[in-house]
């Protein structure tokens, strides 16, 4: 039976009583719920997508089959907001063919002015729904059209040319059916997260219980799109100096490639790989979590943007040397216990933690 709708255009959703969040819920519990029952080789891909959505206004899924992309999109969206009606939507891309900008804008207007999209937009912008997360996926996007018309996709986020702006609680994913390219343009890497799907298909998502509704608020409040706040989170974890040193090392390898915008995106991604409580999402220990997050960035941002003597086939060794020089691997017996890591976060960050805390 379909839930009734109220007069404001927002669907009323009836949630089981045990779906309420508790004060002890953390973002790491949210992530563990999403990754539950997945094989180890698939977890980093899902986690990379999760962090990319928190970091950039667009997330790109590059894979060789449409089914893999659909599974990854629904796995994450259902893991955050799966119990709520009308918060996940997959649409075919308006860029089904090439054309002039005017034709593309007309296709965007015609496609996104559908009832399904407008219903989601109305619900996401309804007062009181700021704590709900909405996930919009555009399927079968052409990489060439995206490269030529990136500014038109960005208009989806800010409004313009008759396209309503997307609110901050609505996350846009573009799905590109193609093998991972050896080269991606710097402007694309500055504005979008890039997630490469593994060659093996992701497993079919198992049946899941309704996630606590408070996990949506955890997801939204943990996301950092502001670089200054991202640097502050890293500083409180004692990692800001290492991140800046790593960026300087990479800048020395390829000064023309690491633009300020690309560097800022890297800082935000690394900060978003930690929760507001200071827990790592890739690994509990901060140094190991940072190493694994940097490893993802090597694959999706620094290797694909290379050219010349530091092209992808020749730069893995140089980048790995940078990582080892700044973040050497630590033996397990030298890693501090979780209580010591949490104590390292100073009390003067209480204003940020109070802002991001789930009420």
Residue 329: the pLDDT is: 73
- Do 83 and 211 meet the contact criterion of CB atoms below 8 Å apart? yes
Eight-class DSSP state of 10: P
Task: Report the DSSP beta bridge partners of residue 88.
Answer: 135
- pLDDT band, residue 280 (cuts 50/70/90): very high
pLDDT in tens, 54-81: 999 889 998 888 888 998 999 899 889 8
| Higher pLDDT, residue 327 or 134 | 134
- Do 89 and 120 meet the contact criterion of CB atoms below 8 Å apart? yes
- Do 136 and 61 meet the contact criterion of CB atoms below 8 Å apart? no
Residue 241: the pLDDT is: 93
- Do 272 and 266 meet the contact criterion of CB atoms below 8 Å apart? no
Is 0.85 topped by the overall pTM? Answer: no
| Higher pLDDT, residue 229 or 117 | 229
Given a cut of 60, whether residue 25 has pLDDT beyond it is yes
Given a cut of 70, whether residue 3 has pLDDT beyond it is no
Pairwise CA distance, residues 21 & 342, whole Å: 22
- pLDDT band, residue 290 (cuts 50/70/90): very high
Residue 95: the pLDDT is: 53
Radius of gyration of the CA atoms of the chain, in A: 20
Pairwise CA distance, residues 147 & 165, whole Å: 21
Give the range among 193-197, 244-248, 320-324, 337-341 with minimum mean pLDDT. 337-341
- Phi first, then psi: give them for residue 301, nearest 5 degrees: -125, -45
- Do 263 and 287 meet the contact criterion of CB atoms below 8 Å apart? no
Residue 15: the pLDDT is: 36
Mean pLDDT for the chain overall? 74
Task: Report the DSSP beta bridge partners of residue 193.
Answer: 59
- Owner of token pair 């969206």: 77
Closest CA to 287 of 346, 248, 229, 340: 340
Quick one: 183 exposed, middle or buried, by C-beta within 10 A (0-12, 13-18, 19+)?
exposed
Residue 336: the pLDDT is: 47
Cα dihedral 8, 12, 17, 18, rounded to 10, equals -90
- pLDDT band, residue 347 (cuts 50/70/90): very low
Question: What domains appear along the chain, each with residue ranges and CATH number?
Answer: 23-215 (3.40.50.300), 225-344 (no CATH)
DSSP secondary structure string for all residues of 301-356:
IITTT--GGG-HHHHHHHHHHHHHHHS----GGGSPPHHHHHHTS-GGGHHHHHHH
Closest CA to 230 of 284, 285, 274: 274
- Do 331 and 325 meet the contact criterion of CB atoms below 8 Å apart? no
| Higher pLDDT, residue 184 or 129 | 129
Residue 93: the pLDDT is: 60
Mean pLDDT in residue range 111-131: 85
Given a cut of 90, whether residue 48 has pLDDT beyond it is yes
Quick one: 126 exposed, middle or buried, by C-beta within 10 A (0-12, 13-18, 19+)?
middle
């Amino acid at each position: 039976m379909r839930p009734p709708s109220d007069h404001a255009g927002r669907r009323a959703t009836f949630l089981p009583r045990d779906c309420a969040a508790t004060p002890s819920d953390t973002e790491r519990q949210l992530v563990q719920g999403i990754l539950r029952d997945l094989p180890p080789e698939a977890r980093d891909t899902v986690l990379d997508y999760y962090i990319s959505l928190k970091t950039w206004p667009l997330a790109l899924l590059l894979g060789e089959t449409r089914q893999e992309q659909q599974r990854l999109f629904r796995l994450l969206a259902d893991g955050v907001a799966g119990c709520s009606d009308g918060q996940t939507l997959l649409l075919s891309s308006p860029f089904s063919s090439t054309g002039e900008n005017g034709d593309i804008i007309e296709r965007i207007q015609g496609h996104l002015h559908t009832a399904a999209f407008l219903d989601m937009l109305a619900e996401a912008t309804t007062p009181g729904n700021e704590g709900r997360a909405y996930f919009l996926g555009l399927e079968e996007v052409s990489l060439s059209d995206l490269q030529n018309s990136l500014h038109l996709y960005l208009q989806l986020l800010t409004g313009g040319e008759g396209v309503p702006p997307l609110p901050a609680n609505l996350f846009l994913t573009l799905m590109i059916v193609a093998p991972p390219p050896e080269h991606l343009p710097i402007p694309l890497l500055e504005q979008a997260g890039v997630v490469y799907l593994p060659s093996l298909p992701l497993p079919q998502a198992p049946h899941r219980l309704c996630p606590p509704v408070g996990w949506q608020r955890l997801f939204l409040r943990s996301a950092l799109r502001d670089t200054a706040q991202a640097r502050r989170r890293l500083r409180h974890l004692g990692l800001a100096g290492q991140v800046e040193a790593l960026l300087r090392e990479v800048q020395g390898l390829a000064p023309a490639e690491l633009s300020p915008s690309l560097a800022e995106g890297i800082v935000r991604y690394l900060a978003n790989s930690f929760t507001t409580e200071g827990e790592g999402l890739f690994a509990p220990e901060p140094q190991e979590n940072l190493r694994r997050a940097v490893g993802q960035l090597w694959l999706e941002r620094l290797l694909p943007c290379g050219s010349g003597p530091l092209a992808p086939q020749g730069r893995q060794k140089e980048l790995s040397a940078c990582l080892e020089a700044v973040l050497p691997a630590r033996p397990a017996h030298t890693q501090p216990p979780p209580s010591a890591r949490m104590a390292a976060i100073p009390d003067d960050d209480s204003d940020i933690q109070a802002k991001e805390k789930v009420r």
